[in-house]
Amino acid sequence: ARAVLPRTASADAIVAAVEAAAAGLLVLPADALLEVPQGIAARAAAPPEALTAREAQILALLAEGLVNKQIAARLGISRHTVKTHLGALFHKLGVSTRAEAVAAGARAGVILL
């Protein structure tokens, strides 16, 4: 689930939460943050570590839907190097999938969708 709402949520709040979740955002009631362990809350609030120029290029190409082979050809690097950069940017953004990386990059303003 990408959205958690109290049972008393209004219809407008439910619609807004569904739209936000569909856009890749996590929706929680304000008081839910009081129950989140400190380490998790700190990581969520911390800005992502800065990406290198090459990592930002690769992230932009991910947003275009390119696969590793296409990214490697476009940038003139090996597929192995693409995988290395992807691993670094996934770690910096705190994500584990390409879609999560694109969403996190867009939220952080690294790429425009």
20 in Cβ contact with 3 (< 8 Å): yes
> Residues 103, 48, 108, 2: is their CA dihedral positive or negative?
positive
More confident residue, 9 or 89: 89
Taking residues 92-111, report their average pLDDT: 88
HSE-CB of 102 using CA atoms within 13 angstroms = 14
Q: Which domains does the chain possess?
A: 11-45 (no CATH), 53-107 (1.10.10.10)
* pTM of this structure: 0.58
* Close Cβ partners of 57 (under 8 Å, ≥ 6 residues apart): 75
Q: Is the pLDDT of residue 112 over 60?
A: yes
- Whether the per-residue pLDDT at 8 is higher than 50: the answer is yes
Encode pLDDT of 20-63 as tens digits: 777 777 777 766 656 555 555 444 544 556 888 899 999 999 99
Residue type present at position 78: S
Residue 36 is predicted with a pLDDT of: 54
Tens of pLDDT along 52-95?
Answer: 889 999 999 999 999 999 999 999 999 999 999 999 999 999 99
